[in-house]
Chain A
Amino acid sequence: MPRIENIPVIEMSRICMGFAKSSGESLPVLTNISLSIQKGEILGLLGRSGSGKSTLLRIAAGLVSPSSGQISYVQKSLHGPEEGISVVFQTFALFPWLTVYENVELGLNSLHLEPGEMHQRVVSALDLIGLDGFESAYPRELSGGMRQRVGLARALVIYPTLLLMDEPFSALDVLTAETLRSDLIDLWGGNQLPPMSVLLVTHNIEEAVLMCDRIVILSSNPGRITAEIPVKLPQPRNRLDPRFQDIVDEIYSILTSRTTELIHNQILSLGKHIEPLPNVPINLIEGFTETLANPPYEGQSELSELANELALEIDDLFPIAETLYILKFVDLKEGNIRLTENGLLFARGNTDMRKELFRTHLLAHLPLASHIHHVLNEREDHHAPRIRFQSELEDHMTEGRAERTLNAIIAWGRYAELFTYEDNSRTFSLIQINAIR
């Protein structure tokens, strides 16, 4: 029996979302997103942090209204939270002063049920999710996994038509997350629950392939749909199945080509368009290149393999790869990563050599670094306030991203001994390192 019916539960068309910048104009976070979820379908929304996937989920929940575009939920236009839509939060969002029972009961608050039926529903939801015996416990007494079970029970108790899950397992440890995932798959496969549609927001590729019927990939800055991948494998799925691995590799290669494409576009319009930089710590860069340079990789690897080996999720892996790619320490091609000549030198060098190489590459390949260096050189006292660069960046990105981008460049610049930064006065300067000593 086909689980999915061809009736859209929620339909979003041409959704755009912008956040106001300090200057008053709006900065796009999501552009032109059209997406619908069919009855009974489990849709995965995959993207890196900052791709606006959580914002999209909140728009579907009615918690946030989009700047433009239409949303309809069961054929009716959606304005604000609606009956039948429930959300599972990344941070669980449990009320610490309510017991497990009361937390779950809270979901039914607006349904106006008889007390008896309310009780029945709560008890059966707790039972279903494996929480019987914990009714009178407070969230603080529970482990992370149990807390998220309460979050799930609270979402399921209303018998939702649409279940929205915002990275529900990312705050849990690997084992707990895996158990919860398989429990959920069992629940959906069984007949204990009325049929529902699910939107799962995640940055974990394997999780998406494991659970979803269809995966939509969102790219960052601004978020837009870059690919749609149906997953036709029968449940329960096996990670070791070659077909499973094929899909995972396909997603990796889509993500890498999207990353390199973005950077190339930026280089084409050099100076005019500055992308936010990921704040990647230097020791991660060093550790990553060392691992890649050493056996068994000897300088090149599949990204998915490396991610498995280093236990990195895409939110950890791609920023590193992207940084190294921008600095021309690696080449990225179709899910494959390879150290360049200088990348190998960097990986095998001692501290001084690394700093030297890093400095040269920063100046050569990162317009923002050379820009700051140039400004400091031009100025007579070799000082410049942070706010100067901050406001330049804010023409192109949100305040928060500008802040993070500057923090990244400060950390790299300090490592490369290109410039220093003093946080008390919030100024950049070119003072010789020797002078500080």
Chain B
Amino acid sequence: MQFDTEMQKRGLRYLRALTRWDILAILLILTLLLILGLIVRQTISPFSVAAQPDISLSVWKLPGYTLKTTFRMLTGLLASILFTFGYATLAAKNRRAEMILLPILDVLQSVPVLGYLSFISVLFLDLFPHTWLGPELAAIFAIFTAQAWNMTFSFYQALKTIPHDLDEACRCFRLTAWQRFWRLEVPFAFPGLVWNMMMSMAGGWFFIVAAEAITVGHLHIVLPGLGSYLAKAISTRDLPAVGWSILAMAIAIILCDQLLFRPLVVWADHFRFEQEQTRIHPKSWVWRLFRKARMVRMATRPARQGLRWLMKAPLPQLSRRNRSARLNHKLDGTIGWALLTGLLILMAWKLYCLIRPGLTCQDVLIVLENGAITLTRVIILTALASLVWVPLGIEIGLRPRLSQWVQPIAQFLAAFPANLFFPVAVLLIVKYHLTPSIWLSPLMILGTQWYILFNVIAGASAFPKDLKEAAEMLRVKGWKRWRKILIPGILPYYVTGAITASGGAWNASIVSEIVNWGPTTLNGSGLGAYIAQMTINGDYPRIALGIAVMSSIVMATNHLVWRPLYTFAARHNQPG
């Protein structure tokens, strides 16, 4: 039979020889397995809060710490993916669930990471009292809360914009919900998901110190890892150690990018929806390595085929959509809203009960005042960053050669946790006797300003060539060129970047408004500093109050400023 001989031929081809690619690939896999084993062994070993091992500042310990931290980050990422698949799918498929899940996701996204940490870490310690699993899970959970939400949003968006004809084709060929998920929904969402995974990873790095050196009230947990190494280096004023940890993190970020994200981006390129062939395809040496390693490909063949079989398996045929459901649309809506409102009131009440004891109007005023300070900072800093990066980004984006160089650098800087450089800033502020409340502020935007830069570069590179030429022929120059042609052209891109940048600045305020360098503490005041301070004090009512106010401000700006602006920009840039 033709089919069998074909299979045999393929098998022989794989058997021919072990290539050098194989050796490399096998080495890579073995190293990863070894590391995993070591980490797992340590995780299940006994742990007690009272007798925690010391973090050593020796450089030789650093590679081990970095690996452990990276492992936590990746576990968090995996958890985020699983969460995304479940939550976003439910929200996209079930109208009733959507009405509740979507607003909740909006709230979850606006709550700063420390907020989760202070409330949940104790829970994990209690769940697994005598092993490292408890603190490990607490740290991973903290990282997860820094990673998950934007991925979930991106997956939900993708599910909601699945092309109509592909949806009909799937139904027409009667794919089950399971088959449809793997053949249509995940592939369609994949490129966006990978991009968001990279952003999430950057978000995770940013909070690594907070996640590994957990301090809530009198509870101190220090997990061996890069974050606690850095925390210790800061508390002992060891500048070389800070330098080493910056180096270690840079290497870890580059390795993650090369070993994980590059191959994923290359893979994701297969799932792009545009059916044109003219684009430049991304490249990755790891991807090539595994493609060329024949032995490895052959060895993993059963596993890959198994996976493929699983994806095609005619597993659960979820019940077909209820026909009478359509008639009850209106009723559904009312019930949904009633439920949602009820839930909100309940949550507000719970929160009120939690906050009420020991809180006075004075506290509320203080929090609001701090909120106003941070809000002013975010606005001024976003404006300043825009003033700098929009013109620069446009000039770079209009030069294809230059932008090819700058774009990856900007993306790397966005992925690099800017808080590593905070100690340097503190040194300078102390040395020159500067006012902390002003000079600490730029730290908030240090890490997130790059989103403005690379989005603007992307916008300017995509600026239609004919419009550029037309403007040149019409000799539109100077300020008019900027105001009439360039800035409106990149507006939607800029808005996307500015949303991310200002959102990131809010999140960063918690670690940047109050900064330590050994015994010196610089307090720039503001809502972030307030929440951080209350977390250290273990003052739960005030933490809750601070978080509630911060979430409300973030959500209000998103809904009242950014979304309308985005809709406006998108509508005005439609050709025809």
| Contact surface of A with B, Cβ cutoff 8 Å | 58, 61, 63, 65, 80-81, 83, 85-87, 89-93, 95-98, 106-107, 109-110, 112, 115-116, 119-120, 123, 138-141, 147, 158
Q: Given A97-B271, A120-B3, A140-B275 in contact, is the A106-B168 Cβ separation under 8 Å? A: no
Q: Which of B34-42, B114-122, B171-179, B452-460 contacts A (4 or more CB under 8 A)?
A: B171-179
Q: Given A91-B165, A95-B166, A96-B272 in contact, is the A109-B187 Cβ separation under 8 Å? A: no
Binary per-residue interface labels of chain B (264-290) against chain A in the complex, 1 for a CB within 8 Å, 0 otherwise: 000000111111110000000000000
In the bound complex, CA of A46 to CA of B129 (Å)? 73
B312 within 8 A of A: yes
Chain A residues contacting B184 (CB-CB under 8 Å) are: 95
Q: Which residue of B lies closest to A123 (CB)?
A: B2
| Cβ contact within 8 Å between A93 and B314 | no
| Cβ contact within 8 Å between B275 and A96 | yes
Chain B residues contacting A98 (CB-CB under 8 Å) are: 183
Q: Given A85-B172, A110-B174 in contact, is the A96-B3 Cβ separation under 8 Å? A: no
In the bound complex, CA of A112 to CA of B179 (Å)? 13
In the bound complex, CA of A275 to CA of B172 (Å)? 34
In the bound complex, CA of A97 to CA of B270 (Å)? 6
B365 within 8 A of A: no
Q: Given A116-B1, A120-B3 in contact, is the A93-B179 Cβ separation under 8 Å? A: no
| Cβ contact within 8 Å between A89 and B174 | no
Chain A residues contacting B1 (CB-CB under 8 Å) are: 116
B320 within 8 A of A: yes
Chain A residues contacting B179 (CB-CB under 8 Å) are: 109
4 nearest interchain CB pairs? A93-B165, A110-B174, A93-B169, A140-B275
B323 within 8 A of A: yes
Chain A residues contacting B272 (CB-CB under 8 Å) are: 96
- Min Cβ gap A22→B in Å is 13
Q: A96-B271, A109-B179 are in contact. List 6 more A-B contacts (CB 8 A).
A: A85-B172, A87-B168, A95-B183, A95-B184, A110-B314, A140-B274
- Min Cβ gap B185→A in Å is 11
Chain A residues contacting B320 (CB-CB under 8 Å) are: 80
Chain B residues contacting A90 (CB-CB under 8 Å) are: 165
Q: Given A96-B272, A96-B273, A141-B277 in contact, is the A109-B168 Cβ separation under 8 Å? A: no
**Max chain A CB contacts within 10 Å: which of B168, B274, B312?**
B168
| Cβ contact within 8 Å between A119 and B183 | no
Chain A residues contacting B273 (CB-CB under 8 Å) are: 96
Q: Which residue of B lies closest to A92 (CB)?
A: B165
| Cβ contact within 8 Å between A116 and B3 | yes
**Max chain A CB contacts within 10 Å: which of B2, B169, B171, B174?**
B169
In the bound complex, CA of A147 to CA of B270 (Å)? 17
Chain B residues contacting A141 (CB-CB under 8 Å) are: 277
Q: Out of B171, B187, B277, which one reaches A63, CB within 8 Å?
A: B171
In the bound complex, CA of A116 to CA of B277 (Å)? 33
Q: Which residue of B lies closest to A115 (CB)?
A: B3
- Min Cβ gap A186→B in Å is 25
For this complex, 13 residue pairs linking A to B, each with C-beta atoms less than 8 Å apart, are A63-B168, A83-B174, A85-B172, A86-B173, A90-B165, A92-B165, A93-B169, A95-B183, A110-B174, A110-B175, A110-B314, A120-B2, A140-B277
Q: Which residue of B lies closest to A120 (CB)?
A: B3
Chain A residues contacting B270 (CB-CB under 8 Å) are: 97, 138
Q: Which residue of B lies closest to A116 (CB)?
A: B3
- Min Cβ gap A77→B in Å is 13
Chain B residues contacting A116 (CB-CB under 8 Å) are: 1, 3
In the bound complex, CA of A360 to CA of B229 (Å)? 83
Q: Which residue of B lies closest to A91 (CB)?
A: B165
In the bound complex, CA of A93 to CA of B175 (Å)? 15
Interface residues on B, range: 20 to 34
In the bound complex, CA of A118 to CA of B195 (Å)? 36
Binary per-residue interface labels of chain B (310-330) against chain A in the complex, 1 for a CB within 8 Å, 0 otherwise: 001010000010010000000
- Min Cβ gap A184→B in Å is 19
| Cβ contact within 8 Å between A93 and B166 | yes
Chain A residues contacting B276 (CB-CB under 8 Å) are: 140
In the bound complex, CA of A58 to CA of B167 (Å)? 13
Chain B residues contacting A80 (CB-CB under 8 Å) are: 171, 320
| Cβ contact within 8 Å between B172 and A109 | no
Q: Out of B2, B163, B172, B274, which one reaches A81, CB within 8 Å?
A: B172
Chain B residues contacting A140 (CB-CB under 8 Å) are: 274-277
Q: Which residue of A lies closest to B184 (CB)?
A: A95
- Min Cβ gap A88→B in Å is 10
| Cβ contact within 8 Å between A86 and B312 | no
| Cβ contact within 8 Å between B168 and A58 | yes
| Cβ contact within 8 Å between A119 and B174 | no
- Min Cβ gap B280→A in Å is 14
| Cβ contact within 8 Å between A107 and B165 | no
| Cβ contact within 8 Å between A106 and B183 | yes
Chain B residues contacting A92 (CB-CB under 8 Å) are: 165
Chain B residues contacting A97 (CB-CB under 8 Å) are: 187, 270-271
- Min Cβ gap B332→A in Å is 14
Q: Given A89-B165, A96-B273, A120-B3 in contact, is the A61-B172 Cβ separation under 8 Å? A: yes
In the bound complex, CA of A138 to CA of B187 (Å)? 14
| Cβ contact within 8 Å between A107 and B173 | yes
| Cβ contact within 8 Å between B174 and A139 | no
Chain B residues contacting A158 (CB-CB under 8 Å) are: 173
Chain B residues contacting A85 (CB-CB under 8 Å) are: 172
| Cβ contact within 8 Å between B173 and A89 | no
Q: Which residue of A lies closest to B320 (CB)?
A: A80
Chain A residues contacting B312 (CB-CB under 8 Å) are: 109
Chain A residues contacting B166 (CB-CB under 8 Å) are: 93, 95
Chain B residues contacting A63 (CB-CB under 8 Å) are: 168, 171-172
Chain A residues contacting B2 (CB-CB under 8 Å) are: 120, 123
- Min Cβ gap B23→A in Å is 28
Q: Which residue of B lies closest to A58 (CB)?
A: B168
In the bound complex, CA of A138 to CA of B270 (Å)? 9
- Min Cβ gap B267→A in Å is 10
**Max chain A CB contacts within 10 Å: which of B163, B173, B320?**
B173
| Cβ contact within 8 Å between A106 and B314 | no
Q: Which residue of B lies closest to A108 (CB)?
A: B173
In the bound complex, CA of A85 to CA of B171 (Å)? 11
Q: Given A91-B165, A139-B275 in contact, is the A81-B3 Cβ separation under 8 Å? A: no
| Cβ contact within 8 Å between B187 and A89 | no
- Min Cβ gap B1→A in Å is 7
- Min Cβ gap B322→A in Å is 12
| Cβ contact within 8 Å between A93 and B3 | no
